[in-house]
Structures are given as C-alpha cells and as structure tokens.
C-alpha cells in the first residue's frame, strides 16, 4: 500500500463542511480552522484554510484566492442543506465532496497533496489509527491493539472535554500510552505516515472570524 495515498480519496466533506455552517457566506472567505480543533478529523480543504498549513505547502497567491472561493462556495451549498433530508440532499452532499476532491486535484501539485495528507494525520493525531480504516490496515493493528487504543483515546477525549486547557500537558502522557500499544515496526510505519512534524499554531486574525469559529459545529462523518 502506498502510505501517501491512504486518506485523501476516502475523504468525506459533506458533514465536515458543517464546521463552517455558523459563519455567514459573506464571512466564509475569511474563516480559518481554529487551533482548538486539533485532534479531530477534518476535511483537507478546511485544514488548508490555516495560514500555517498554506505556508508549509507554499501555496501561491492564486491558490489561496481559489481556496477561499471554493470554501465560500461549498459553505453556501452546505448551508442550503441544513435541516433537509432525502435523496436529493444525499446527491448534493456527494457533489460537495466531489467538488472538494476535484479542486484539490486540479490546484495542488502531487508534492503538495502528499504533504497535505501527512498534515491531515498529524492534525488528527493517534485517533486516525481508529477513525481511518486504511491507516489501521496499513499499521496491521490487531483486535487487541484496536481495543487498547480505543480505551486510551476515549480517556483522552474525556479528559479534554473536562479541561480543554490541559491539552498540552496531557498530550505527552496519552501519546506515550498509545505508542506503547504499537510494536517497533508499527511505530516506524506510523511516523512514516506523519512525515516531518509541523507545529500547528496560528494567530487569530479577526474578532468576527473568532466569533464564527466559536459557534461552528463540530460534527464530522466517519469514512
């Protein structure tokens, strides 16, 4: 299996776009995925909204402008589906998913796509071992390992929900427990998936953006 191609084509944006649903279409161009979402699975298009990720991928001005446009467009389309059900909604969600994948494939180079996929897994962290079946398969996790990982990750999520400010302090402890569940060869495969570590950090740009972020939904859809 080519570890560089594990996640991108399996991505679903339809539910993840709800992270933008509290921002009005007029503000969508300025929206940026906040630091508080680190550790959760998210769509690569939304990860690309961050300035640090744009810098890491060395996006050009035209790419950034196009990115803002596609996020705004898909946000408007996603907003139009709120509260609706039925076959037509399913079709439109799939169309939104495909529009994201089309934009990424048409506007990013192969190297940028490969690095973005690494950053997706870095952003989500060890939770990707369970939320992404292809990652679990690549690591060849046993049933016992999956159960152990699920327990540790559930404890981590509970701790973060209780005290979000403790994320940095608790991260090292939980990371050690998770890595201890893997064999040496599995750890090597995992770090290969991650690539060169990126220290995600982004300064807030505007109060309006922050307000919208605080109201944004946190729902993502397994894939």
Confidence of residue 20 (pLDDT cuts 50, 70, 90): low
Confidence of residue 6 (pLDDT cuts 50, 70, 90): very low
Higher pLDDT, 22 or 114: 114
State the residue for tokens 């679903």.
12
Q: The pTM is what?
A: 0.77
Confidence of residue 161 (pLDDT cuts 50, 70, 90): confident
Confidence of residue 1 (pLDDT cuts 50, 70, 90): very low
The predicted pLDDT at position 211 comes to 40
pLDDT tens readout for residues 133-146: 999 999 999 999 99
Rounded to whole angstroms, the Cα distance separating 129 from 190 reads 9
């Amino acid at each position: 299996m080519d570890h560089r191609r594990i996640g991108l084509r399996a991505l679903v944006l339809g539910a993840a776009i709800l992270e933008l649903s509290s921002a009005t279409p007029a503000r969508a161009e300025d929206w940026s995925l906040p630091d508080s979402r680190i550790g959760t699975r998210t769509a690569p298009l939304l990860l690309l909204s961050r300035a640090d990720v744009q810098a890491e991928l060395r996006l050009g001005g035209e790419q950034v402008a196009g990115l803002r446009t596609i996020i705004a467009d898909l946000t408007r389309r996603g907003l139009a589906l709120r509260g609706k059900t039925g076959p037509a909604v399913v079709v439109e969600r799939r169309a939104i998913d495909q529009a994201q994948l089309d934009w990424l494939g048409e506007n990013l180079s192969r190297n940028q796509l490969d690095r973005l996929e690494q950053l997706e897994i870095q952003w989500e962290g060890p939770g990707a071992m369970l939320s992404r079946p292809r990652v679990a398969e690549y690591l060849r996790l046993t049933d016992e390992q999956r159960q152990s990982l699920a327990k540790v990750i559930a404890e981590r999520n509970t701790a973060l929900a209780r005290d979000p400010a403790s994320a940095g302090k608790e991260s090292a402890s939980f990371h050690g427990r998770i890595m201890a569940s893997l064999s040496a060869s599995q750890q090597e495969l995992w770090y290969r998936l991650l690539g060169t570590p990126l220290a995600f950090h982004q300064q807030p740009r505007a109060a309006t953006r922050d307000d919208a972020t605080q109201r944004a939904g946190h729902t993502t859809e397994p894939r």
